[in-house]
Amino acid sequence: MTTLYEAIMIRIRKISSGFFMRLFRSFRRKYLFYMAGFIAMLLFFGLFGGRSLMQIYHLKEERERIRASNARLHEENQKLAEQIGRMKHNKKEEVERIAREELGLVKKGELVYKFE
């Protein structure tokens, strides 16, 4: 048989453990709710904020377009430098070639045939 003191202590433990369990459950629910909100805010600002993943992605795409344009311009500059070098050495022939190819000019007495 249990004594009156032991019975009271058992009852107090049951009441207090139930109280603490309910308190812990409500605290756990609030904690999970706040954590979910915090994580949602981090994801939102991470994806769409000031230095977001979307902005970084667009900046990388723009960088690749600029690099491609830069390579194309570099190649065009090399071709023009070669053309300048040819003009320095063979000035008359190079000027004539450019006049014929790019401007469509002809010498006196030449016939031009156009094919469609």
Torsion of CA 88, 92, 96, 99, to 10 degrees: 60
* Residue 114 belongs to some domain of the structure: no
Number of H helices, E strands in the chain: 3, 0
* Residue 42 belongs to some domain of the structure: yes
95 shares a domain with 55: yes
Domain that holds residue 2: 1-49
| Per-residue confidence (pLDDT) for residue 8, from 0 to 100 | 75
57 shares a domain with 99: yes
- Which amino acid, 17? S
What is the count of structural domains for the chain?
Answer: 2
pLDDT tens track for 23-52: 666 677 777 788 888 888 888 877 777 777
94 shares a domain with 71: yes
85 shares a domain with 58: yes
Local structure of residue 90 (DSSP, 8 states): S
Residue with the bigger pLDDT between 109 and 68: it is 68
